Amino acid sequence: MKIGVLGTGMVGQTLGTKLVSLGHDVKMGARDAKNEKAASFSAKSGDKASHGTFADAAAFGEILFVCTNGNGTLPALRAAGADNLAGKVLVDISNPLDFSKGMPPTLFAGNSDSLGELIQKEFPDAKVVKTLNTINCSLMVDPGRVGGGDHTVFVSGNDASAKARVTEILKTWFGWKDVLDLGDITSARGPESYLLLWLRTYVALRTADFNVKIVR
Amino acid sequence: MKIGVLGTGMVGQTLGTKLVSLGHDVKMGARDAKNEKAASFSAKSGDKASHGTFADAAAFGEILFVCTNGNGTLPALRAAGADNLAGKVLVDISNPLDFSKGMPPTLFAGNSDSLGELIQKEFPDAKVVKTLNTINCSLMVDPGRVGGGDHTVFVSGNDASAKARVTEILKTWFGWKDVLDLGDITSARGPESYLLLWLRTYVALRTADFNVKIVR
């Protein structure tokens, strides 16, 4: 499948590399078509990988992964262009973290709104599915790293078939066993706000190799 | 031990009943000394139980459990009186939920502050420990109800010995196996913000009988 990955940081690199290893064609998008990290990704990932602008990656992908820093998400999607997003499943992994007031970061959305909702509102023709934002990127694509993979990832979104497709991807491509559908895109407030607990747990445990399991 | 329980709702009733069953002397406090729910609690709980004002309960208890609704917490503690709180372990279970804008509720604290911190700031001589706010009250005192009790409860607070004492209470009185110390009272932002994920999970699962386990 042709997949667009928006963002060149750790999350984009890890997901892009995993998707290529699964045999997909991946185009990594950045603000600048000559972005060094995107170029390095496609150089080392072989024929299946390429890079370009956010618009290039969005036009290329049948499905898109949003891996930008939270405050770069809406600008990246504007640069990608609404026409390139329309009708597509937009997997939003980004978090509304605000580092401008020092550490630990606060959230610029997540209580009475969420970044997932802000995206869906501005791009009503995209099928936004919020997921994977609650774990470190190495766990995203390899949940078996801790607890034998016996822990939970959440999905939120308005489009049932888009959520079903993302759930299938999480299970069959990445190996997730427990995918919990929280509801429509407003439910993204839950996993986005959870980031504040993630950050404190990260400090307490001194490792990012953990996740929550919803025990029921 | 003499214990003060502030608040007469489900949380206060459940905790009060459990504490009496463990052999402790419990005084339930309310705004009004003649509060019917507090009177009913002490009537049905035998000689070990009594009730009175917030100040009565706070003066009585060697350790205090704050079981009020979040927006009633600071008023209840002001009514209890700073002198009655000074030097005591104050187990804060309340959540900063704001129902005034409809359902689901939002938080009136939890991002750049928390209810735990607001309490500690206003009552600097109390030893505030935030805990148990992340689960339904029946699970608080009986974690074995789900998953054989294999899930996590958090503690946050500035006073190490107060946290150690509360951790001991959680383990030996209530049966908790995994108590995670998140750090000082500012870390209460984590478990308080998590409530927004709790609420969405509650809707998705249609039961309050669940909790998170931090799988690491």
Give which of B5, B12, B16, B19 is closest to B54, Cα–Cα: B5
| Mean pLDDT calculated for residue range A38-51 | 97
Question: A211-215 and B2-6: which strand pairing?
Answer: unpaired
Q: Do B190 and A205 touch (CB under 8 A)?
A: no
For residue A177, count CB atoms less than 10 angstroms from its CB and return exposed for 0-12, middle for 13-18, buried for 19 or more. middle
The reported pLDDT for the residue numbered B110 is: 79
Q: Is A56 part of a structural domain of the chain?
A: yes
Q: Does A79 touch chain B (CB under 8 A)?
A: no
Min distance A183 CA to chain B CA atoms (Å): 7
| Residue-by-residue DSSP string for A12-40 | HHHHHHHHHHTT-EEEEEESSTT-HHHHH
Tell me how far apart the alpha carbons of residues A32 and A30 are, in angstroms, rounded to a whole number: 5
Give the mean pLDDT of chain B.
97
The reported pLDDT for the residue numbered B108 is: 94
| B86-133: pLDDT as tens digits | 999 999 999 999 999 888 999 999 788 999 999 999 999 999 999 999
Q: Does A182 touch chain B (CB under 8 A)?
A: yes
What residue type is A129 in one-letter code? V
Q: Is A212 part of a structural domain of the chain?
A: no
| A194-212: pLDDT as tens digits | 999 999 999 999 999 999 9
The reported pLDDT for the residue numbered B67 is: 98
Give which of A90, A29, A37 is closest to A56, Cα–Cα: A29
Q: Do A146 and B215 touch (CB under 8 A)?
A: yes
Residue with tokens 């669940």: B210
Q: Give the count of domains, chain A.
A: 1
Question: A211-215 and B211-215: which strand pairing?
Answer: antiparallel
- Phi and psi for A182 in degrees, rounded to 5? -90, -15
Min distance B194 CA to chain A CA atoms (Å): 5
Q: Contacts for A47-54 with beta carbons within 8 Å, 24 or more apart?
A: A48/A20, A48/A23, A48/A24, A49/A16, A49/A20, A49/A25, A50/A25, A50/A26, A51/A27, A52/A27, A52/A28, A53/A29, A53/A79, A54/A6, A54/A29, A54/A30, A54/A79, A54/A80
Tell me how far apart the alpha carbons of residues B169 and B62 are, in angstroms, rounded to a whole number: 13
Q: Is A216 part of a structural domain of the chain?
A: no
Residue with tokens 């005084």: B27
The reported pLDDT for the residue numbered B111 is: 87
How confident is residue A50, by pLDDT bands cut at 50, 70 and 90? very high
Tell me how far apart the alpha carbons of residues A113 and A117 are, in angstroms, rounded to a whole number: 7
A212: nearest CA in chain B?
B214
| Residue-by-residue DSSP string for A69-102 | -HHHHHHHHHHH-HHHHTTSEEEE----EE-TT-
The reported pLDDT for the residue numbered A181 is: 98
Tell me how far apart the alpha carbons of residues A129 and A126 are, in angstroms, rounded to a whole number: 9
Q: Do A197 and B203 touch (CB under 8 A)?
A: no
pLDDT at residue B207 greater than cutoff 90: yes
In the DSSP assignment, the letter for residue A150 is -
Alpha helices in chain B (DSSP H): 10-21, 36-45, 54-60, 70-80, 82-85, 115-122, 137-140, 160-172, 189-205
C-alpha distances in Å from residue A208, one per residue of A38, A126, A173, B188: 24, 31, 22, 19
Q: What are B107's two structure tokens?
A: 């938080």
Name the maximum alpha-carbon separation found in chain B.
48
pLDDT at residue A110 greater than cutoff 90: no
Q: Do A204 and B181 touch (CB under 8 A)?
A: yes
The reported pLDDT for the residue numbered B196 is: 97
**A 134-163 residues with CB < 8 A to B:** 146-147, 150-151, 154, 156
How confident is residue A215, by pLDDT bands cut at 50, 70 and 90? very high
| A123-136: pLDDT as tens digits | 999 999 999 999 99
Q: Which strand (E) or helix (H) includes residue B5?
A: strand B2-6
Q: Taking CB atoms and an 8 Å cutoff, what residues of chain A touch B112?
A: 101, 106
Min distance A36 CA to chain B CA atoms (Å): 34
Q: Taking CB atoms and an 8 Å cutoff, what residues of chain B touch A189?
A: 196, 200
| B140-159: pLDDT as tens digits | 999 999 999 999 999 999 99
Q: Does B81 touch chain A (CB under 8 A)?
A: no
Q: Does A189 touch chain B (CB under 8 A)?
A: yes
Q: Is B213 part of a structural domain of the chain?
A: no
Q: Do B193 and A197 touch (CB under 8 A)?
A: yes
- Rounded to an integer, what is the distance from CA B45 to the centroid of its chain? 20
pLDDT at residue A11 greater than cutoff 90: yes
How confident is residue B137, by pLDDT bands cut at 50, 70 and 90? very high
The reported pLDDT for the residue numbered A116 is: 98
pLDDT at residue B85 greater than cutoff 90: yes
Q: Do B101 and A112 touch (CB under 8 A)?
A: yes
Contact A214, B212 (CB under 8 A): yes
B198: nearest CA in chain A?
A190
- Phi and psi for B9 in degrees, rounded to 5? -80, -165
B182: nearest CA in chain A?
A204
The reported pLDDT for the residue numbered A16 is: 98
Please tell me whether residue B80 adopts helix, strand or coil conformation: helix
Which residue out of A179, A194, A211 would a mutagenesis test of the B interface target, given it has the greatest number of B Cβ atoms within 10 Å? A194
Tell me how far apart the alpha carbons of residues B34 and B50 are, in angstroms, rounded to a whole number: 11
How confident is residue A166, by pLDDT bands cut at 50, 70 and 90? very high
Q: CATH number of the domain at B197, please.
A: 3.40.50.720
Residue pairs between chains A and B whose CB atoms are closer than 8 Å: 127
| Residue-by-residue DSSP string for B175-216 | --SEEEEEESGGGGHHHHHHHHHHHHHHHHHT-S--EEEEE-
Min distance A17 CA to chain B CA atoms (Å): 24
Q: Is B115 part of a structural domain of the chain?
A: yes
Q: Is B139 part of a structural domain of the chain?
A: yes
| Mean pLDDT calculated for residue range A160-180 | 98
Q: Is A36 part of a structural domain of the chain?
A: yes
Q: Is A213 part of a structural domain of the chain?
A: no
Min distance B163 CA to chain A CA atoms (Å): 14
How confident is residue A95, by pLDDT bands cut at 50, 70 and 90? very high
| A133-154: pLDDT as tens digits | 999 999 999 999 999 999 999 9
What residue type is A24 in one-letter code? H
Q: Do A196 and B201 touch (CB under 8 A)?
A: no
Give the mean pLDDT of chain A.
97
Alpha helices in chain A (DSSP H): 10-21, 36-45, 54-60, 70-80, 82-85, 115-122, 137-140, 160-172, 189-193, 195-205
Supply the range of the domain harboring residue B107. 2-205
What is the CB neighbour count within 10 angstroms for residue B71?
16
Q: Taking CB atoms and an 8 Å cutoff, what residues of chain A touch B190?
A: 196-201
Min distance B156 CA to chain A CA atoms (Å): 10
